Amino acid sequence: MKPEYLITLADPAQIPDLFRGPFLKGHREPRLAVVGRSNVGKSTLINALLQAKLAQVSKQPGKTRAIHFYLWKVIDRIIADLPGYGYARASWSERDRWEEFIRHYFDTDENLEGVILLLDARHGPTEADLEAIQFLRGREVLMKVVFSKSDTLKTQSMRAQRKKAASEALGKLGIAADAIFWVSSQTRQGLPELIREMKKGWEHA
C-alpha cells in the first residue's frame, strides 16, 4: 500500500493527453488538491499524510512550480500538490499565470473531489488567502480549511486566540467550524483526524 508518484503537470498543453473523462493517466481515483500560499507547508503535509518523502520541500518559497500528482492508496485517492500563490517575489504576470494554470486544471479535472486549503496557523487568513477562497468558491469545489504549522503556536493562550480569530474570519465567509482543521506535519498533531475526514468523503463539506 505504498504511495506512488504518478505524474507532473507542468504545462497546460499536457492536459488533453493526461485527462480522459474521469481518468488521469488511466487512474480513476478521485483527486484531492492541496492549495495554499507559497511556503505554507503543502508539500510537507502531503509527505506527512502519505508517510513518504515524495513531494519536494524547501525553505525557499516557490519550490513547487507545477502540479504533482501522487497515488494515495490507503484512502484510494490521488492527491495533487499545487504551486503556491502569493509568492512575494513573483511578478504580476507570474501571479496571473498561477491563476490561469490552476483555473485550467480545475476546469479540466472531472474527478476533482475536493480542495484542502492550507493556511498558516500563525497568520492566516491573509489577503491572498481570502482571494483564494473567493476563487475556489467561484469554482464550486468542496473545500476544507486546514491550518498548518500549529506546533509554532507554543502556548495554550496563543492557540485559543488564533483559533478564535480564524474561526471568526472564516465564519464571515460561511465556512463552518467543522470544516476547519489544525495540524502540524512536524508533530503529526491533528493528522489522524484530518485523514479520517478525508476518507469519509466530501459530500457534507
Question: Which residues of the shown chain bind ligand GTP in the complex (CB under 6 A)?
Answer: 36, 38-44, 57-59, 61-64, 83-84, 148-149, 151-152, 184-186
Chosen from ligand GTP, Mg ion, none, partner binding at 70 (C-beta under 5 to 8 Å by type): none
**How far, in Å, CA of 80 to CA of 69, rounded?**
4
3-state class (DSSP) for residue 182:
strand
116 vs 185, beta carbon nearer ligand GTP:
185
Kindly give the interhelix angle for 191-200 and 42-50, rounded to the nearest 10 degrees. Answer: 80
Q: Which of 33, 36, 39, 43 binds Mg ion (CB under 5 A)?
A: 43
Q: What is the CB-side half-sphere exposure of residue 137 using CA atoms within 13 A?
A: 10
**How far, in Å, CA of 30 to CA of 93, rounded?**
31
Of 29-37, 56-64, 159-167, 173-181, the segment contacting Mg ion by CB under 5 A is 56-64
Residue 43: partners with Cβ closer than 8 Å, 6 or more residues away? 55, 56, 57, 58, 63, 64, 81
Of 7-15, 55-63, 94-102, 192-200, the segment contacting Mg ion by CB under 5 A is 55-63
Binding mask 63-82 for Mg ion (x = CB under 5 A): xx------------------
Contact set with Mg ion (CB under 5 A): 42-43, 63-64
